[in-house]
Amino acid sequence: MKVNNVILQFTTKIVFFIIFFFAVHIFFAGHYTPGGGFVGGLVTASAIVLLLVAFDLKTVRSLLPINYIYMVAIGLLIALGTASIAMFVNEPFFTHFFDYFYLPLFGKTSLHTAALFDFGVYLVVVGVTMTIIQTIGEDE
Amino acid sequence: MLLQVVCLFIPLIAAIFMPFLFKKIRNIHTGWFVLFVPLFLAIYYATFVPSISKGETAVVQFDWIPSLGISFVSYIDGLSLLFSLLISGIGALVVLYSIFYLNRKKEQLHNFYIYLLIFMSAMLGVVQSDNMITLYLFWELTSISSFLLIGYWYNRDKSRFGALKSMMITVAGGMMMLGGFVLLSLMGGTFSIRSIIEQAPLFATNDTFVIALVLILLGAFTKSAQFPFYIWLPDAMEAPTPVSAYLHSATMVKAGIYLVARFTPVFALSEVWIWLVAGIGLLTLFWGSFFAVKQTDLKGILAFSTVSQLGLIMSLLGVGAIAYHVNDAADTVFKYASFAAIFHLINHATFKGSLFMIAGIVDHETGTRDIRKLGGLMSIMPVSFTVALIGSFSMAGLPPFNGFLSKEMFLTAMLSVTEFDLFNFSTWAPLFPIIAWVASVFTFVYSFYFVFKTFTGKLQENELPTKPHEAPIGMLISPVILASLVVTIFFIPNLVTDTFVKPAVMAIQPFLYSSPEDVHIHVSAWHGFSPELWMTLGIIVVGLLLFVTLSKWQKYYNTLPEQFTLNRLYDFTVNELLGSWMTRFSGLYMTGSIRNYLGYMFTAIPIIVIATLFIKNAFVVSFEGASPIHLYQIILIFVLVIGTITTVYARSRITSIIALGAVGYTVSLFFVIFNAPDLALTQLVIETISVALFLLAFYHLPKFQKVEERTRFKFGRVFISVGVGVMVTLVALSAHSQKLVTSIAEYYKETVYSLAGGGNIVNVILVDYRGFDTLFEIAVLAIAGIAIYGMIKLRMSRKEKNHESK
């Protein structure tokens, strides 16, 4: 029994990107305004869940051929690696570095290793959420 | 002379090589190799005799844990030299005997000799240790090796039962003894027994003195099979006979005697000590001799007889302690007691060792130890009979054997008690010689019972499993040597006493004698028509009378019902009390229901916390610095309370889930009005996900049990939850009302931009100031995710496997 979900699927195609970019936004804005890796990750995951609701598991998997468990591992490695950088330059573990740079497109921008760490958090949160939902979803 | 300490460990080192010798050299009985160890030790300790008998001592110390004052100290004085010689000498004889007793091809000899050598080391350690901790170490090692030896034939039920019983009792006593040692060392500030003895007079007023005394006595009484702890010894007779001869007659059971003798200078000043040691010893003497006549098993008779003789020695040591309370003790009759104790100890080791070996020979050559089947072996086994006769007569206290001498001295000592008038002794003292006399009569009866029921009478050849014949000569060497010692000591008692007994007495009573020559006791077989002699004559006459009429009254023993014996008490304790009762008791509270366990926890926590709060006077309520309450907050609290009540009282689960979601969203609204946008965001998303997961769980509930039913009201649960709520509220109020340190939030506010280059304090704290926490929180998330994946996927794969196998 396949219900015709044209409206839902069409809306999803648009809304997915809105949610995703909102997630990216709150991820990057996290250091100065509310948001950050955790919430950003959750919102990204919710965007993917929306895809799952509108289409089915198989379609979403072919759209986003991601192994979320690898994603969790990569996220953890990035977080740990960022924290370890400081040790190579004789600073205590988990010392962050930041400075202002002139980038070609963005102009004067502050770059912070904390953002890298937050990216690790982001990946782990997306990975874990999607792992849980997909695993439960596949289970009969 | 480090050799003196090394000697303690020589048997242990030798034990390492036994399996190799047993496996590689199959043609020679392993026992021959073992024999060198006790022989060497005996010769080595014999070299000490000249100097020790002059009253000198030899001390060698080897530090083990210097920071705790624990060291291996080999302290050889008269007492420990005597024991060391007994251990190594009788050890050598027993090993020799075991070579012929145990079959090279059928028995696991390497096990046997390893255990035996461990035991030898342990026993030497017990008698030579001056450090109480190492003494305890060796003490437990004797218990363990004895356990292994009793259970040597481990495929027999009775062996295992006997081994376990002796282990339980002796280890329990050993633990008590350790407690006593610790108390003593706390009083004296040292573990060294010698320095404890020097300080002993100061301890008498100490509160813990009597406790230490009782604890150490418990250790000695359990090991030496005193009343009521003797019950393990008859069951230990399941061990191979060499073991019984060695451990359960000559050495291990005398460890307790040694302990009492060694600590006499410390505790003799106490009235409790004298009463306990002398009283229990006398009771054991009577009890053991009384029940020995009842036994039908040869080794059973000997076991009870050992119990009884140990009681005799113990009571003598108790009476010997009286010497500390009389003036000019060296000139009074009390001096005999300790002397007699040590003398009888030597005599007992000789005659009991030989008797056990004879019992083993009879068992070995006829196939049974049941005295009802035996009889008429005199002409078939003449050597064994002679040895048994010598041993038994010595045990009964007849001349011309050494038992006579020590029995006379024992009676002298018991008669002397009547002259002692301290500590209410005048009331009870007349009982001492009477009990001693009655016990001696029974000793006489069972000694005759043992030897004449076995060797005289009619030979019941068809009752015996094998055709009886005399033992091989190798098996007879050891008992013959021991028996000849029994006779020799009678004829030259003073040589033995001057060499061994007097230095030992000096060790027991160091305050009375400064050198062994001060002990003015001359042993003589004939000492005139003294009361002791008449008592001995009485013993012989009454004993003979009782022995002749034995068959008429022996059956009356069984009128004492089995229920009232101490074995019944032990079985009850082990099986009922520790077994099923404890299981039932733990079954009462270990119900397996998580609800009950949560009940225990949530009852205990509020009681502890609230009690602490009020006992420590920590409960304060102060609204200083509290913010004003707004209308929004009141509305939200109202929603929150309604949501909570709905969650608890809802009729259907789905209502509860939705109400729980409402509570979660309200909390996120609280975050909004309390200015926590990050929290509000996260709470909102997380609440959504968790409600979705709850719905999932709800959807998958099994159909047949999905009865929609309101949570049942139970007063106990309501009480507990109210308690928890009250606790949390009180703690929160008190914690809010008294702030000891100011918040560190100011630091974050000031440095969030300058040091961390950020604007969102919450996020900067999460990733920068305290990123460490975040790192492990995402690790927790990852673990949770992988766990869910694993749980679901692995279950599926198992299902598939089951499917395939069908």
Separation in Å, CA of B768 to nearest CA in chain A: 6
Q: Which residue of A has its CA nearest to B777?
A: A121
Chain A residues with CB-CB distance to B792 below 8 A: 135-136, 138-139
Residue B685 and residue A46: Cβ atoms within 8 Å? yes
Given a cut of 70, the residues of chain A with pLDDT beneath it are 1-3, 140
Nearest CA among B276, B274, B257 for reference residue B322: B274
Confidence at residue B797, expressed as pLDDT on a 0 to 100 scale:
57
Residue span of the structural domain in which A69 resides: 5-138
**Integer Cα distance of B186 and B181 in angstroms:** 8
Chain B residues with CB-CB distance to A121 below 8 A: 767, 774, 778
The residue of B767, B777, B796, B798 whose CB has the most chain A CBs within 10 angstroms, and thus the best one to mutate to test that interface, is B767
The answer to whether residue B800 neighbours chain A at the CB level (below 8 Å) is no
Lookup result for tokens 């591992």: A73
Separation in Å, CA of A38 to nearest CA in chain B: 8
Are the C-beta atoms of B84 and B124 separated by less than 8 Å? yes
Residue B788 and residue A112: Cβ atoms within 8 Å? no
The two structure tokens encoding residue B664: 């979660």
Q: How many domains does chain A have?
A: 1
Q: Give the A-side interface with B, CB within 8 Å.
A: 26, 30-39, 42-43, 46, 69, 72-73, 75-76, 79-80, 83, 94, 96, 98, 110, 112, 114, 117-118, 120-121, 124-125, 127-129, 131-132, 135-136, 138-139
Residue B792 and residue A136: Cβ atoms within 8 Å? yes
The residue of B763, B769, B796 whose CB has the most chain A CBs within 10 angstroms, and thus the best one to mutate to test that interface, is B763
Residue A72 and residue B786: Cβ atoms within 8 Å? yes
The answer to whether residue B1 neighbours chain A at the CB level (below 8 Å) is no
Chain B residues with CB-CB distance to A132 below 8 A: 784-785, 788-789
Q: Residue B678 is nearest to which of A32, A34, A72, comparing CB atoms?
A: A34
Residue B681 and residue A98: Cβ atoms within 8 Å? no
Digit-coded pLDDT (tens) for B216-229: 999 999 999 898 88
The two structure tokens encoding residue B430: 């007349």
**Integer Cα distance of A27 and A20 in angstroms:** 10
Confidence at residue A76, expressed as pLDDT on a 0 to 100 scale:
93
- Interface A–B counts its CB contacts (< 8 A) at 124
Given a cut of 50, the residues of chain B with pLDDT beneath it are 806
Separation in Å, CA of A73 to nearest CA in chain B: 8
Confidence at residue B771, expressed as pLDDT on a 0 to 100 scale:
86
The residue of B687, B781, B786, B798 whose CB has the most chain A CBs within 10 angstroms, and thus the best one to mutate to test that interface, is B781
Q: Residue B768 is nearest to which of A69, A96, A129, comparing CB atoms?
A: A96
Residue B782 and residue A124: Cβ atoms within 8 Å? yes
Residues contacting residue A36 through CB under 8 Å, at least 6 positions apart: A26, A27, A30, A118, A121, B678, B760, B762, B763, B766, B767
Q: Which residue of A has its CA nearest to B793?
A: A135
Q: Residue B785 is nearest to which of A38, A43, A131, comparing CB atoms?
A: A131
Q: Residue A79 is nearest to which of B688, B778, B793, comparing CB atoms?
A: B778
Q: What are phi and psi of A139, to 5 degrees?
A: -70, 140
Q: Residue B763 is nearest to which of A36, A69, A76, comparing CB atoms?
A: A36
Separation in Å, CA of B763 to nearest CA in chain A: 6
**Integer Cα distance of B344 and B281 in angstroms:** 14
Helix pair angle (B402-416, B382-396), 10° resolution:
10
Residue B282 CB neighbours (<10 A): 25
Q: In this predicted complex, what is the ipTM?
A: 0.91
Chain B residues with CB-CB distance to A128 below 8 A: 781-782, 784-785
The residue of A94, A95, A129 whose CB has the most chain B CBs within 10 angstroms, and thus the best one to mutate to test that interface, is A94
Confidence at residue B308, expressed as pLDDT on a 0 to 100 scale:
92
Residues contacting residue B708 through CB under 8 Å, at least 6 positions apart: B651, B652, B653
Residue B591 is inside which H or E element, if any?
Answer: none
Q: Cα dist. B588→B575, B591, B594, B597 in Å?
A: 18, 6, 14, 12
Q: Taking every pair of C-alpha atoms in chain B, what is the biggest distance, in angstroms?
A: 116
Residues contacting residue B95 through CB under 8 Å, at least 6 positions apart: B31, B34, B35, B38, B113, B116, B242
Q: Residue A72 is nearest to which of B688, B689, B782, comparing CB atoms?
A: B782
Residue B203 CB neighbours (<10 A): 20
Separation in Å, CA of A1 to nearest CA in chain B: 20
Confidence at residue B563, expressed as pLDDT on a 0 to 100 scale:
56
pTM here?
Answer: 0.78
Confidence at residue A1, expressed as pLDDT on a 0 to 100 scale:
45
Helix (H, G, I), strand (E, B) or coil at A110: strand
The answer to whether residue B796 neighbours chain A at the CB level (below 8 Å) is yes
> Helix and strand tally (H, E) in chain A?
5, 2
Confidence at residue B806, expressed as pLDDT on a 0 to 100 scale:
45
**Integer Cα distance of B432 and B333 in angstroms:** 15
Q: If DSSP states are collapsed to H, E and C, what string results for B72-126?
A: EEEEECHHHHHHHHHHHHHHHHHHHHHHHHCCCCCCCHHHHHHHHHHHHHHHHHH
Chain A residues with CB-CB distance to B785 below 8 A: 69, 72, 127-129, 131-132
Residue B789 and residue A37: Cβ atoms within 8 Å? no
Residue A121 and residue B774: Cβ atoms within 8 Å? yes
